[in-house]
């Protein structure tokens, strides 16, 4: 298993030429496509749905697509994303009436499953479902928008989750999302993360390869 995964958030990509931009960031060395789904209900913004995921697959994108659902209700959109080619589907537990059922639904659809924790969401949702998780995603900003600053208290939360994953013995990725940059990625990795979502830090730069290479060299330190 690759030790660290870099997952550009296409929220900050150029939507007018999305296929080309996603190809460019993968050619630049990104591992996974992070796909932010916002419904203007659970979060105050509106983005993209399963049709766009299908379009990326039809365009020839073969990398894993990591679908981050910021929607409520959660369940009815899951089969559509599985059919659209999602590889990983994560959701916010407080947006689901039945967290265990939603996790099972994702797995039965053939995708990897994960829970997402907002900065102030309690980790108690992990208590009875560790065996069903492939990913735990900690938000290091409040969800809804790209380009926000990393919330420092996430580092302590990351350390707590890293301990829980290691103690569980399960193979679970620890993903962090929001405000990840070249200058803080090493500190975030040291706190236990092994999958890094970065939107504005990558897509604001003219050369994606330079910034991804810089992130990898920070991670190698």
Positions annotated as catalytic residues are 36, 177
Closer to Zn ion by CB, 138 or 212: give it: 138
Among candidate residues 117, 133, 200, 209, the one with its CA nearest the CA of residue 165: 133
Using CB under 6 A as the binding rule, whether residue 219 contacts ligand DX5 is answered as no
Matching residue, tokens 């916002």: 38
Closer to Zn ion by CB, 21 or 36: give it: 36
Which secondary-structure segment (H or E) carries 164? helix 154-168
Q: Which entry of Zn ion, ligand DX5, none binds 19, CB below 5 to 8 A by partner kind?
A: none
Give the interface size with ligand DX5 as a residue count (CB under 6 A). Answer: 21
- Which of 198, 211, 212, 215 is in the footprint of ligand DX5 by CB under 6 A? 198
Closer to Zn ion by CB, 39 or 177: give it: 177
Using CB under 5 A as the binding rule, whether residue 66 contacts Zn ion is answered as no
Using CB under 6 A as the binding rule, whether residue 9 contacts ligand DX5 is answered as yes
* Min CB(78)–ligand DX5 separation in Å: 18
- Which of 6, 12, 48, 102 is in the footprint of ligand DX5 by CB under 6 A? 12
Q: Which entry of Zn ion, ligand DX5, none binds 179, CB below 5 to 8 A by partner kind?
A: ligand DX5
Contact 22, 12 (CB under 8 A): no
- Cβ burial 47-82 (10 Å sphere, 16+ → b, else e): bbbbebbbebeeeebebbbbbbbbbeebbebbeebb
Question: Under rule CB under 5 A, which residues in 157-196 are in contact with Zn ion?
Answer: 177
- Whole-angstrom Cα distance, residue 24 to residue 181? 19
Dihedral-angle region of residue 178 (phi above 0 means left; psi in -120 to 50 means alpha; beta otherwise): left
- Whole-angstrom Cα distance, residue 105 to residue 193? 26
Site string for ligand DX5, 15-54 (x = CB under 6 A): -------------------x-x------------------
Contact 188, 159 (CB under 8 A): no
Dihedral (C-alpha) 77, 82, 85, 87: value to the nearest 10 degrees?
A: 110
Binding site for ligand DX5 (CB under 6 A): 9, 11-12, 34, 36, 68, 141, 143-144, 146-148, 177-180, 197-201
């Amino acid at each position: 298993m690759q030790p660290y995964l870099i997952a550009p958030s296409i929220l900050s990509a150029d939507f007018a030429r999305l296929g080309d931009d996603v190809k460019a960031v993968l050619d630049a060395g990104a591992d996974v496509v992070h796909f932010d789904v916002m419904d203007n209900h659970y979060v105050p913004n509106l983005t993209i749905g399963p049709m766009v995921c299908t379009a990326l697959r039809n365009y020839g994108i073969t990398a894993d697509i990591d679908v981050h659902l910021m929607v409520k209700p959660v369940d009815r959109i899951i089969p559509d994303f599985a059919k659209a080619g999602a590889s990983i589907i994560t959701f916010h537990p407080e947006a689901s009436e039945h967290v265990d059922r939603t996790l099972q639904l994702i797995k039965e659809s053939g995708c990897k499953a994960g829970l997402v924790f907002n900065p102030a969401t309690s980790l108690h949702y992990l208590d009875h479902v560790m065996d069903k998780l492939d990913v735990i995603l900690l938000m290091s900003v409040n969800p809804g928008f790209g380009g926000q600053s990393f919330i420092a208290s996430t580092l302590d939360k990351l350390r707590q989750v890293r301990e829980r994953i290691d103690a569980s013995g399960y193979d679970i990725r620890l993903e962090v999302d929001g405000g990840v940059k070249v200058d803080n990625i090493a500190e975030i990795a040291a706190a236990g993360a092994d999958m890094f979502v970065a939107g504005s830090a990558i897509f604001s730069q003219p050369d994606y390869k330079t910034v991804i290479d810089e992130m990898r060299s920070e991670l190698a330190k």
